[in-house]
A and B are shown apart, each in its own frame.
Chain A
Amino acid sequence: MITQLLKKKELHFERSFAAPIEAVWSAWTEADRLREWWHPDKTTVTDCEVDLRVGGRIFVITLASDEMGKYAGTRWPMDGTFTRIDELRGLSYDAKSWTEGDEDSATITHTNVLTLSSEGERTLVTLHVTITDIGPKAKLAAFGMKWGYKSYLDALGKQLAGPPNH
């Protein structure tokens, strides 16, 4: 049914950063650093836990700030488990993301494969995200976008597309 429209969804990202591989690895694997860049604008990271070992946890809660209007105070946790740690080369984790209070029905399940490689003084980062499942309410949210989420996402998209103000 509706899931058939979604099935598995693959997302692929590739970026080159002007930083050594060690710096990129730290940014991904040290909670204090991860929390500095993980959050989109108008959100903050309230909880961040990285237990860097296979079977260890990667857990981040993003909180909508007051600037997000009616979504202010909404918490979006991501709870994952590392399945591969390859020091300075990459890592993988299986995770679920949801809206707090709606875990049963609004959860998105995804696998994430991060690969780092040196390019002289730069580092190439590739990230492959596979969305493997999406909860019933998240599906309904997809429908509901037309009526409710659309304006929120348009606004969010506009905000996110603007120049970064860090």
Chain B
Amino acid sequence: MQAAVFNALSEPSRLQIVELLRTNPHPVGEIAETLAIRQPQASKHLKVLAESGIVRAEPRARQRIYHLLAEPFGEMARWIDSFEHVWEVRLDSLGDYLQTTHTEEGAS
């Protein structure tokens, strides 16, 4: 686990920003307003999130619009899949075990 990602998401305001951006991209002003924090503070949080690859800014007119990068959420689904995979492997292992013991017990 990279510390940067932990740091990025371990701060409540930054998690709130992630939650906010899940529905729509927002400019920094709106983000600050929704979270009831000052804009420089919001910018600071967004900088951390951007550096960790969680959000990306796109300049539009005179504003920077922040949106969430989809990839980490896809990774989350994959993480759950890995839980499933462990079970598949575990059941394979059970099959091997049963084959060994059943054959042994049958032979004895």
Contact = CB atoms under 8 A, between A and B. Distances in A.
A11 B84 CA distance: 7
A45 to B, nearest CB: 11
Given A140-B6, A143-B72, A148-B1, A131 B80 contact: yes
Interface residues of B, number: 44
Given A23-B101, A127-B87, A145 B94 contact: no
B75 A9 contact: no
A141 B71 CA distance: 14
A146 B83 CA distance: 16
A143 to B, nearest CB: 5
A129 B91 CA distance: 13
B90 interface: yes
B98 A23 contact: yes
A61 B88 CA distance: 19
Given A11-B87, A37-B90, A145 B96 contact: no
A11 B85 CA distance: 10
Interface in B33-61: 52-54
B99 to A, nearest CB: 7
Interface in B1-51: 1-2, 4-6, 9-10, 15, 18-19, 22
Central interface residue in A9, A19, A41, A125, by most chain B CB within 10 Å: A19
B98 A108 contact: no
Given A18-B102, A164-B92, A6 B80 contact: yes
B5 A38 contact: no
Contact of B76 (A24, A27, A143): A143
Contact of B97 (A5, A36, A149, A156): A36
Given A6-B80, A150-B75, 10 more contacts: A13-B91, A15-B95, A17-B95, A33-B101, A142-B75, A142-B76, A143-B5, A144-B1, A148-B5, A157-B82
9 contacts: A1-B19, A13-B88, A18-B98, A19-B101, A142-B75, A144-B6, A146-B75, A157-B82, A166-B93
